[in-house]
Amino acid sequence: MGGSCSIRERWRAGWAFRRWAAGFGQRLRGFARAEEGVAAIEFAMILPAMLLIYLGLVVITTGIAIDRKVGTMAFTLADLTARAQAITNADRDIMFSAARAILAPYSATGATLVLTSIYIDDNGRATVSWSDANKAGAALTRGANYVLPDYAAGLAMPSSSLIIGEVTYPYAEGWTGVLASLGFSIGGFRDGILTMHEKSYMRPRLVPRIPRVVDEDTVYP
C-alpha cells in the first residue's frame, strides 16, 4: 500500500513537472516570436544619433543663412555710403540701421559694423581718411596705413578713394556646446562661437572723395 502511494506521488510530481516544462517552453517560444517591443528598443537605440544629426543640421544651416546675411550687410553698408556726397552723423546712423535690419529675424546685437573711407595717393599708398563703427574701439585709426587684400588690389588706383563696409558677427549657437560635450566637433567653432567676418569695397559714385561731416567745425575729407 505504501509502495502504491509512493508510485502515485512520483507520477503526480512527474506530471506536474512535465506540465510546467511544457508551459515554460511555450512561454519561451512566445517570447522568441514576440516582435512588438523590438521596434521600441531599436528606436531607443538610434534616437540619440538622430537627435545629434538633427541638432547638427540646425546649427549648420542657421550658420549658413547668417553668413550670407553678414555678406549682404557689408555690401549694403558700402553701397549705400558710396551713393552719398557726404556723410553726417545722421547718415551714418541710417546706414548702420539699414545694415542691421538685413540680419532679421536673427539678433543683430552682437554685430560689429565698421564704415571706412580710404584714400590712395599718387604712389599707391592707402591711408584711412575716416572711420566709424557702431561699437567703441572698432573703428580704424584716422591716418593709419591700410593694406588692401589681394582680391581688392585692383581697385587701388592712384589719387582715388574707396568706401569699405565691414561686418563682424559672433555666431554663438547654444547647441554647439552640447555637441562638443558629447565629443562632436563642428569645424570653425571655438568655445561654441564662430566669428563671421565680411568686407565690401566700393568706389564713390558721385564725388571723388566722400567727406565725413562730424559737426560744423570738423569735416574729414
- Per residue of the chain (221 residues), what is the pLDDT tens digit? 444 556 666 556 556 656 665 665 566 566 555 555 666 677 778 877 787 777 777 777 888 898 899 999 999 999 999 999 999 999 999 999 999 999 999 889 999 999 999 999 999 999 999 999 999 999 999 999 999 999 888 888 999 999 999 999 988 765 555 555 555 555 556 666 778 899 999 999 999 999 999 998 888 98
Q: How far is CA 194 from CA 32, 63, 105, 191, in A?
A: 51, 9, 18, 8
Does a structural domain hold residue 40? no
Inter-residue contact 180 to 196 (CB < 8 Å)? no
Does a structural domain hold residue 199? yes
4 and 77 share one domain: no
68 and 96 share one domain: yes
Inter-residue contact 177 to 48 (CB < 8 Å)? no
192 and 97 share one domain: yes
Residue type at 62 in one-letter notation = T
12 and 81 share one domain: no
Does a structural domain hold residue 41? no
91 and 187 share one domain: yes
**Dihedral (C-alpha) 111, 115, 121, 125: value to the nearest 10 degrees?**
-10
79 and 154 share one domain: yes
124 and 173 share one domain: yes
Q: Domain tally for the chain?
A: 2
Q: Which domain holds residue 27?
A: 1-34
62 and 30 share one domain: no
Does a structural domain hold residue 215? yes
82 and 145 share one domain: yes
82 and 121 share one domain: yes
Q: What is the pLDDT of residue 2?
A: 47
Does a structural domain hold residue 62? yes
Q: What is the pLDDT of residue 174?
A: 59
4 and 88 share one domain: no
Does a structural domain hold residue 53? yes
Does a structural domain hold residue 196? yes
Does a structural domain hold residue 29? yes
23 and 68 share one domain: no
For the beta carbon of residue 94, count every other beta carbon within 10 angstroms. Answer: 14
Q: What is the pLDDT of residue 172?
A: 72
Query: Exposed e or buried b for every residue in 202-218, given b needs 16+ CB within 10 A?
Result: bebeeeebbbbbeeeee
CA distance 98 to 16: 88
Grouping H, G, I as helix, E, B as strand and the rest as coil, residue 21 is helix
